[in-house]
Chains A and B, each alone.
Chain A
Amino acid sequence: MIGLAAGTTAMYHAMTEMALADTSTFKGPIKLSAPPAGASVLVLGAGIAGMVAAMELRDAGYKVTVLEYNGRPGGRNWSLYGGDTYTELGGATQKVQFDAGQYINPGPWRLPYHHQGILHYVNRLGVALEPFTQVNYNAYVHSTDSFGGKPQRYRTVQADFYGQVAELMSKSTKQGALDQDVTKQDREILIKALRDWGALDANDKYATGLEAGEHRGFASDPGGGLNSMPIAGKRIEMKDLLNSGLWSAIGAGLAYDMQSTIFQPKGGMGQVGKAFGKALEPLIQYNCKVIDIKQDGKGVTATYIDSRTGGAPKMASADWCVCTIPASVLSQIPMNVGGPMKAAIDQIPYMAALKVGLQMKRRFWEQDEQIYGGVTYTNQPNTMIGYPQWDFFSKGKGVLLGSYCFGTPAYIAAAKPPEERIKDALEYGARIHPQYKDEFECGVAVAWHRVPWTLGCAGFWTEEARAKHYDNLCAVDGRIVLAGEHASRIPAWQEGAVTSALDAIERLHKKAMSA
């Protein structure tokens, strides 16, 4: 027992070495030695990866220049507020009509506790965090094909599914079906564990009794004083649960990335990008569309034009280059890197995703349904409804995430104009919350294949492609190294961008020191 013999710190280190306590590959603040005198780096892209690279290289002593396509820092780290204007590919322009204090995050919206890299920078930049609830037991799971289309509370579906699985397992154990796999002593323990886990009664049945109520809730909750006896609800039968498909929605919070605690920046994810931009203020040149990247034995030169007006090409040069341009865009930019890196860049398509924000006149999900934050899951194309995780109990308005879908429904949405995406989200949502019809005010819809600077939401790696190309994508090619979520094993997460950038600059720095 390492823990008893050497104390908990030693145990923690031992666990880390055994990879039991890993929190991404972030190993604490990076320490780069002083670079060669006058050494310079050109960073392409002022998203999270680019700004992490720029900040650390600047702090180490490099001369850093950042070129960014947009007129703001952050890239996919982005919030839309009232008064903002967003023009997508194809020209549709949405003017966001939200009230002050309301927003949606079209891109990332969560910071899991084990994403210590992005959390390090969020804290370093002084951006305030608040909790983000992923699993709300009082939100809904919903299928149009089951229970007459009536949404079910997450907690009742979970309790009834686990309870009845526990009952079956307990029965099988007692009948000897598991005798080959579980020792006699362990069978007793298993039966006891199933009783706890499934909220079974003294006879190991998941009855519609008060034991079950401790997990699923009650038809009438217990209270104080007279007439305060709890009344048990009626369980949903296993057959109906299995056929409803709702069992697949209650696994959401089991995934490592979805486990508590999760955070969100106060005032929107975009606050992180803004704070980064401010910290790097003189280094970032905005509205620069890179059209060519060339390297030779001495350095790297990027040619760019004004992303709004075009005009005469300009050039920026440095000794080294950290390129964080999404592969979807980079695959179209001439760049003289070797065949293996080029092949890797050329085979990363970008995923489809849609987010729709809907401002409601009042927070009916809180006032009428006691849903405070979290997510409702549905089999409709909007896939999720996210409830705002700030200003709880406010008597004012609220913005719902009315749709967050990937793949097929997101492709279909991208092919429609923004107003139709909003109309669809309203139609689907009203089947769960009929209040939508009276309370909706305004919305905004971001379909990621229409986003001009990414052409999709995130790198779409198959394991097959990754096995063949990933190392070639990440390797330094001459004086150029790539970084971003696409050059990580945590695709689409900001932690992937951070850890990719840190790994990339560490290797580039090593090369610069030996050059």
Chain B
Amino acid sequence: MKTKMTIRLLAGAVLALTATAAFADTAGPAPKPGGPNISGFFSPFPFQGGEAIYKGVCQGCHMADAKGAVGAGAYPALAKNTNLETAAYPVSIVLKGQKAMPFFGLQLNDQQIADVVNYVRTHFGNKYKDKVKPEDVKALR
């Protein structure tokens, strides 16, 4: 996500951004310089620790029990998911997205991604012992 992106949003505004730059939302007032704000399109998620991040963000699609959901399409279950065996795989998907899943590399830092991947890999029936470190996440950015 180091390249410059321009994203045309449904608010009609054009948003030019670079990976690490803080910027205003398309419509609302800009965040106060230096102040915390979670209103922007790519505002950092304010949660710390794997469980808080999972409950604050991931369960929106993967659900509280991590069993996913099925409609016209499906959100995959993370519970008892053997695809989590190689830690780099979930790290890479959280960072870069895959199919319907958006990328979260702009809104979650290395520590947060390591924490949430470690949480999912040790909960919901997953028992993977090796831990992801923030530097592992950084290497995959």
**Residues of A that sit less than 8 Å from B by CB:** 69, 89-90, 141-143, 145-146, 243-249, 251-252, 255-258, 289-290, 307, 325, 327-329, 331-333, 346-347, 349-353, 377-381, 383-384, 405-409, 411-415, 447, 449-458, 460-464, 489, 491-493
A243 touching B29 in the complex, CB below 8 Å, given contacts A350-B100, A408-B45 = no
Q: Report the nearest B residue to A451, measured CB to CB.
A: B71
B60 CB-CB contact with A under 8 Å: yes
Give A29 Cβ to nearest chain B Cβ, in Å.
26
CA of A90 to CA of B71 in the docked complex: distance in angstroms?
10
Known contacts A89-B61, A408-B42, A456-B100; 8 additional CB pairs below 8 A are A90-B69, A141-B29, A145-B35, A247-B29, A252-B13, A255-B11, A349-B101, A489-B8
Chain B residues within an 8 Å CB radius of A457: 10
Complex interface: chain A residues within 8 A of B61 (CB): 89, 414, 449-450, 455
Known: A328-B99, A353-B10. A453 touches B45 (CB 8 A): no
Which residues of chain A are within 8 angstroms of B7 by Cβ–Cβ distance?
A: 460-463
Chain B residue at smallest Cβ distance from A134: B12
Q: Give chain B interface residues in 4-44, CB to chain A under 8 Å.
A: 5-13, 24-33, 35, 37-44
B125 in contact (CB, < 8 A): no
Q: Which residues of the other chain, A, contact B41 by a CB distance below 8 angstroms?
A: 406-408
- In the A-B complex, the 6 residue pairs with the smallest Cβ-Cβ separation, listed nearest first, are A452-B71, A257-B12, A492-B10, A407-B41, A414-B60, A245-B30
Task: Using A90-B63, A415-B55 as known contacts, say yes or no to A377 and B99 having CB atoms under 8 A apart.
Answer: no
A406 near B99 (CB under 8 angstroms)? Answer: no
Q: A407-B43, A464-B3 are in contact. Are A329 and B29 (CB under 8 A)?
A: no
Expressed in whole angstroms, the Cα–Cα distance for A483 and B117 within the complex equals 36
Q: Please, how many angstroms separate the alpha-carbon atoms of A347 and B38 in the complex? A: 26
Contact among B9, B29, B60, B71 with A377 in the assembled complex (CB-CB below 8 Å): B29
Rounded to whole angstroms, the CA-CA distance of A208 and B22 in the bound complex is 35
What is the predominant secondary structure among interface residues of chain B facing chain A? loop
User: Roughly how many angstroms separate A331 CA and B101 CA in the complex, as a whole number?
Assistant: 11
Q: A248 and B71: CB pair below 8 A?
A: no
Between A and B, 6 residue pairs with Cβ closer than 8 Å are: A248-B24, A248-B28, A325-B72, A351-B9, A405-B39, A407-B25
Contacts A245-B31, A379-B31 given; does A409 touch B39 at CB 8 Å? yes
Report whether A450 and B60 are in contact in the complex, using a CB–CB cutoff of 8 Å: yes
Q: Does B134 lie at the interface of the complex (its beta carbon under 8 Å from any beta carbon of A)?
A: no
Question: With a CB–CB cut-off of 8 A, which chain B residues contact A384?
Answer: 27-28
The chain B residue sitting closest to A416, CB to CB, is B60
Q: Does B140 contact A (CB under 8 A)?
A: no
Contact, CB under 8 Å: B27 / A415? no
- In whole angstroms, what is the CA distance A44 to B127 when docked? 41
Q: Are A411 and B12 in touch, CB under 8 angstroms?
A: no
**Inter-subunit contact B39/A351 (CB<8 Å):** no
The answer to whether B55 touches A456, judged by C-beta atoms less than 8 angstroms apart, is no
Nearest-CB distance from B40 to chain A (Å)?
6
Nearest chain-B residue to A346 (Cβ)? B99
Whether the pair B29, A411 counts as a contact (CB closer than 8 A) is: no
Rounded to whole Å, the gap between the CB of A334 and the closest CB of chain B is: 12
A350 touches which of B24, B30, B102 (Cβ 8 Å): B102
B102 contacts A352, CB within 8 Å?
yes
